[in-house]
A and B are shown apart, each in its own frame.
Chain A
Amino acid sequence: MRWYRSSIGKKVLMAASGLVLLGFVAMHLLGNLLIYQGPDALNAYAKKLRDLGLLLWAARGGLLVALVVHVWTSIALSLENRRARPQRYAVQRTRETTIAARSMLVSGVMVTAYLVYHLLHFTFRVTNPDISHAMDRFGHPDVYAMVVLSFQQPAISIAYIIGMAAVCLHLSHGIGSACQSLGLNDERTIPAVAFIGRLIAVVLFIGYTAIPLSVLAGLVTIRGTLP
C-alpha cells in the first residue's frame, strides 16, 4: 500500500495542506490590514500582487492544490469514520473533545461556502458589480473603495463575520490537531500546542473582523481612516 492511501497518510496530507491554507490565511490578513493606512497603501499592495504575474498564478495554483487535497482527504476520512460505527450508541458522553473538534466537517463546509462567496464578491466581482469596478486616482483598480463600500452594507459585513467565525472555529481545533497528525508532539507539548492553536485562531478572528466592524463604526471611510 502506498503510504498516502493509509489512514495516517491521509491524515498527514490533510494536516500539511491545512497548514499551507493557514499560512495563506495569515498572510492574507497582513495584506488586509493595510486598509488602516488608507486607499493608496491598499491599492498599491493590490497592484503589486497583480504585477507578480506568473508568480501570482503559481501561488494560486499551489493554494488550489492544497485546497483540493484538503477537501478530498477530509471527505474520504469522514466517510470512513462514518462507516466505522454503523450502529450509534443510545447514550454517548465525552470527556476530552471540544465543540470545535466535533464540528470540523460542518465548519469546513461553511468555510467552503464562504470561500465561494468571497471569490465571487472580491475576486470575480460578480455579486456587487456596481461598486467593484472603480479606478483610483492613479488609474488602478480601487480595491479600497470596493472594500469600504461593501462593508458599509451590514448584510455583507455580517456574512464576512460569520465566515470568519467558521474559519476560526475550524482552526481552533485544526492547528493543534495538525501538529499531532504530523507527529510533532510529545507529552509536554500537546497542551501548549493546543493552546497556541486556539490563540492563533482568536487573533485571526479579531484581526479579520476588525475591518468590517471599523467600516460599520465609521472609523474607516471612503476617504481614509479617521485620525
Chain B
Amino acid sequence: MKLTLRLWRQRSARDTGRFEQYQVADISPDMSFLEMLDSLNEQLCAERKEPVAFDHDCREGICGMCSLVINGLAHGSDRGVAACQLHMRRFKDGDMITIEPWRAKAFPIIKDLVVDRSAFDRIIQAGGYVSVDTGDAPEANTVPVPKPAAETAMDAAACIGCGACVAACPNASAMLFVAAKVSHLAKLPQGQEERRRRVRSMVEAMDREGFGNCTNHFECMAACPKSIHVTFIARLNREYLKASTRRSSEDIH
C-alpha cells in the first residue's frame, strides 16, 4: 500500500506546531499501525530528517503508552483496541491518514505526537494508600470477595490509563479514568477503609488538573481500548455524593 500521512509535528511544548505530509510506500496490510510509523521513521532517518516522536511500549495493548488520534478517533476506528493493535488492513491503498496527539489542556504536548500524562499520575497519588496488614503475604482466600463484586472490580481495573477517554471526550473530561480507578477499589473489601476520602481527593485532583466536565456523550466508552463502561461514571457520581454528604471518622487524616 501507498499512503499519505498528515502528521502533527511540534518541536517542543513551546513550539506552535503544524501538520506535515509524508508519503509511505510498501506498507503491508499485516503491519500494525505503529510498525507503519516505524517504517516512516526509517525513511526519515535515511533522508537525514528528524524522525516523528510517538509514545509506545508494549505494543500489545496492555501498557497504555500508545496515544494517537487517527482520522479523528482516539486509537483509530476499531473498538476495544489500542492504536498499537490497529492493523493496516483497516486502510486502503492511496488513503490519506490524519494523525494527531491527544489534545487537552491537562495533557500538554512534549513533542510531535507525545503528550505529558502525569496529570493522571497525580490523580492516582491523590487517591492515596490502601490499608493492608504488613508482614507475610496472607493466604489468597483469607478475605472473601463475592464473585459479582470481583467481576465488577476487574472490569474497572482493566483501565490501562492511556487517556483515550480524555482525548475522545468533546469536553476533554477524565471522568471515565477516575471512575474506573475509584470503582475498582470501592468494590473490594481492601478498599473500604479509605473509600470516602479516596473518592473526594481523586475528584479534587481531577478538577485541579483542568480536565473538562462530563456531559454524558459516552464517546469515552467508544474510544476506550478496554471498553470500560460508562456505568462506572454513574457509580463515581454516587460514590462522590455519598462521601461528600456524610462526614466520617476518615476525615481526621
A residues bordering B, Cβ < 8 Å?
Answer: 1, 3, 6-12, 77, 80-81, 83-97, 101-102, 104, 173, 176-177, 180-187, 190
- CA–CA, A182 to B245, complex, Å? 14
Which of B42-50, B55-63, B66-74, B123-131 has 4 or more CB atoms under 8 Å from chain A? B66-74
Min C-beta distance of B3 to chain A, whole Å: 15
* Residue B52 CB within 8 A of the other chain: no
- CA–CA, A3 to B199, complex, Å? 12
Q: How many inter-chain contacts with C-beta < 8 Å in the A-B complex?
A: 136
Q: Which residue of A lies closest to B204 (CB)?
A: A1
Interface 1/0 per residue, B213-224 and A, CB below 8 Å:
111111101110
Q: B216 touching A101 by the CB < 8 A rule?
A: yes
Q: A85 touching B212 by the CB < 8 A rule?
A: yes
Residue of B100, B223, B237 ringed by the most chain A CB atoms within 10 A: B237
Q: A93 touching B212 by the CB < 8 A rule?
A: no
- CA–CA, A185 to B179, complex, Å? 14
Q: B231 touching A80 by the CB < 8 A rule?
A: no
Q: A80 touching B237 by the CB < 8 A rule?
A: no
- CA–CA, A187 to B98, complex, Å? 34
On whether A84 and B105 interact (CB within 8 A), knowing A11-B213, A77-B213, A182-B237, the answer reads: yes
Q: A96 touching B221 by the CB < 8 A rule?
A: yes
Given contacts A7-B206, A84-B104, 9 further A-B contacts (CB under 8 A): A9-B244, A81-B173, A84-B211, A85-B172, A89-B100, A92-B69, A101-B216, A102-B217, A182-B241
Q: B212 touching A84 by the CB < 8 A rule?
A: yes
- CA–CA, A101 to B216, complex, Å? 8
On whether A88 and B103 interact (CB within 8 A), knowing A81-B172, A182-B237, A187-B231, the answer reads: yes
Interface 1/0 per residue, B200-215 and A, CB below 8 Å:
0001101100111111
- CA–CA, A169 to B30, complex, Å? 45
* Chain B residues with CB under 8 A of A83: 105, 210, 212
7 A-B residue contacts at CB 8 Å?
A81-B213, A83-B105, A85-B212, A89-B103, A91-B71, A96-B222, A183-B241
Q: Which residue of B lies closest to A10 (CB)?
A: B213
Q: A7 touching B216 by the CB < 8 A rule?
A: no
On whether A190 and B210 interact (CB within 8 A), knowing A97-B217, A97-B218, the answer reads: no
Q: Which residue of B lies closest to A8 (CB)?
A: B240
* Residue B11 CB within 8 A of the other chain: no
- CA–CA, A88 to B8, complex, Å? 13
